[in-house]
Amino acid sequence: EPEVTQTPSHQVTQMGQEVILRCVPISNHLYFYWYRQILGQKVEFLVSFYNNEISEKSEIFDDQFSVERPDGSNFTLKIRSTKLEDSAMYFCASSEDSASNQPQHFGDGTRLSIL
Amino acid sequence: AQKVTQAQTEISVVEKEDVTLDCVYETRDTTYYLFWYKQPPSGELVFLIRRNSFDEQNEISGRYSWNFQKSTSSFNFTITASQVVDSAVYFCALMTDKLIFGTGTRLQVFP
């Protein structure tokens, strides 16, 4: 079964550095998402992306964050000037369309640790 | 406002017991979808089920069953004859324009 893949599985970065989290969505999917889960807490929506544009973003997704689809297969989340509180698990997801009858398929996550 | 409430923070059972995980949601939308995801200790999110707001039929899949009651805005999840491998955090989620997760219920199944 096709799956969403995320790399790296664990990223350790010094505070203040920039980090790029990478995702390869399922190939025929058109909608892409990033979610964040701080340790022990719930999964929170960050941003959705369609047709090379952000379609929706949450309050968390401020100017420190950006997303990009640099080629036909990758979908990246960039975090600039990382802070300690950015430490979390970041999940990428994709779906065939935005109609909610398609479950969002999640990658296995990237654990980001900011030191 | 859209909201998902999972009032049970943690549940512990002994293997072979049945267990029900509660989920209550709030939305003003008439069209919405409900999901359950499992997050095992390894951390990934595993899709279990989706339900749309127009389909109140209960569903059974092996040891798993779901009870959707629109009148009480609940979408409860029952595991029959629980097993140690069922130990995980279970998230209920509501989708209108985006997926909103509950805070999760940690299920521990002891042998």
Rounded average pLDDT over B54-81: 92
pLDDT at B73: 95
CATH of domain B3-110: 2.60.40.10
Q: What is the pLDDT along chain A (115 residues), one digit of tens a residue?
A: 779 999 999 999 999 999 999 999 998 898 999 999 999 899 999 999 998 999 999 999 999 999 999 887 899 999 999 999 999 999 999 988 766 556 778 999 999 999 9
pLDDT at A99: 62
Q: What percent of chain B has pLDDT over 90?
A: 75
Chain B interface, best mutation among A34, A100, A113, by max B CB count within 10 A: A100
Q: Do A91 and B35 touch (CB under 8 A)?
A: no
Yes or no: say if A110 and A89 are a contact pair by the CB < 8 Å rule: yes
C-alpha to C-alpha distance for A19 and B107, rounded to whole angstroms: 34
pLDDT at A100: 56
CATH number at residue A52: 2.60.40.10
Rounded average pLDDT over B77-85: 96
pLDDT at A70: 86
- Decide the pairing of beta strands A31-37 and A19-24: unpaired
Judged by DSSP in three states, B2 sits in coil
C-alpha to C-alpha distance for A99 and A31, rounded to whole angstroms: 10
Computed over every residue of chain B, the mean pLDDT equals 93
pLDDT at residue B31 is higher than 60:
yes
Rounded alpha-carbon distances, angstroms, from residue B51 to A88, A103, B6, B91, B94: 29, 10, 17, 14, 10
A to B CB pairs, distance under 8 Å = 53
Domain ranges across chain B: 3-110
User: What is the CB neighbour count within 10 angstroms for residue A113?
Assistant: 13
pLDDT at residue B54 is higher than 70:
yes
In total, how many domains does chain A have?
Answer: 1
Domain that holds residue A38: 5-114
User: Using a CB-CB distance cutoff of 8 angstroms, which residues of chain B are in contact with residue A111?
Assistant: 43
